A and B are shown apart, each in its own frame.
Chain A
Amino acid sequence: MNMNLTLLGQAIGFILFVWFCNIYVWPYILKALEEREKRVADGLAAAAKGHHELELAEKRATDILRDGKTQSQGYITQAQKRADELVDEAKQNAQAEASRIIAAGRAQIEQERQQVREELRTQVARLAVAGAEQILMREVDQATHKEVLSKISASL
Chain B
Amino acid sequence: MAATPAEYIRHHLQNLTFGQHADGSWGLAHSALEAKQMGFIAIHVDTMCWSIITGVLFLWIFRKFARNFSIDKPGHVQSVVEIIFEFVNNSVKTSFHGRNSLIAPLSLTVFCWIFMMNLMDLIPVDFIPYLVFEKPGIAHYMKIVPTTDVNATFGMALSVFALFLYYSIKVKGLGGFIAEIAFHPFGKKLFFVNIPLETISLLSRPLSHSLRLFGNMFAGELIFLLITALLPFWIQWLLSVPWAIFHILVITLQAYIFMMLTIVYLSMAHSSSQH
Contacts and interface: CB of A to CB of B under 8 A. Distances in A.
A33 interface: yes
Given A3-B151, A24-B66, A9 B43 contact: yes
Given A13-B52, A20-B59, A29-B62, A39 B108 contact: no
6 contacts: A2-B35, A5-B41, A10-B146, A10-B154, A21-B108, A33-B85
A32 B55 CA distance: 23
Contact of A11 (B40, B65, B150, B156): B156
Size bracket of the A interface: 20 to 34
Interface of A: 1-11, 13-15, 17-18, 20-22, 24-26, 28-30, 32-33, 35-36, 39
Interface of B: 15, 17, 19, 35-36, 38-44, 47-48, 51-52, 55, 58-59, 62-63, 65-67, 69, 71, 81-82, 85-86, 89, 101-102, 104-106, 108-110, 113, 146, 149-152, 154-156, 158-159
The listed residue with most B CB atoms (<10 A of its CB), out of A8, A13, A20, A24, is A13
B69 A6 contact: no
B75 to A, nearest CB: 14
Given A17-B59, A24-B63, 17 more contacts: A2-B15, A4-B151, A7-B155, A10-B48, A10-B154, A13-B155, A17-B55, A17-B113, A20-B63, A21-B59, A21-B106, A22-B105, A25-B63, A28-B69, A32-B66, A33-B85, A39-B71
Main DSSP-derived SS at the A contact region: helix
Contact of A7 (B62, B82, B110, B154): B154
Nearest to B19: A4
A58 B219 CA distance: 70
Given A13-B55, A15-B159, A21 B62 contact: yes
A21 B156 CA distance: 16
Contacts of B89: 30
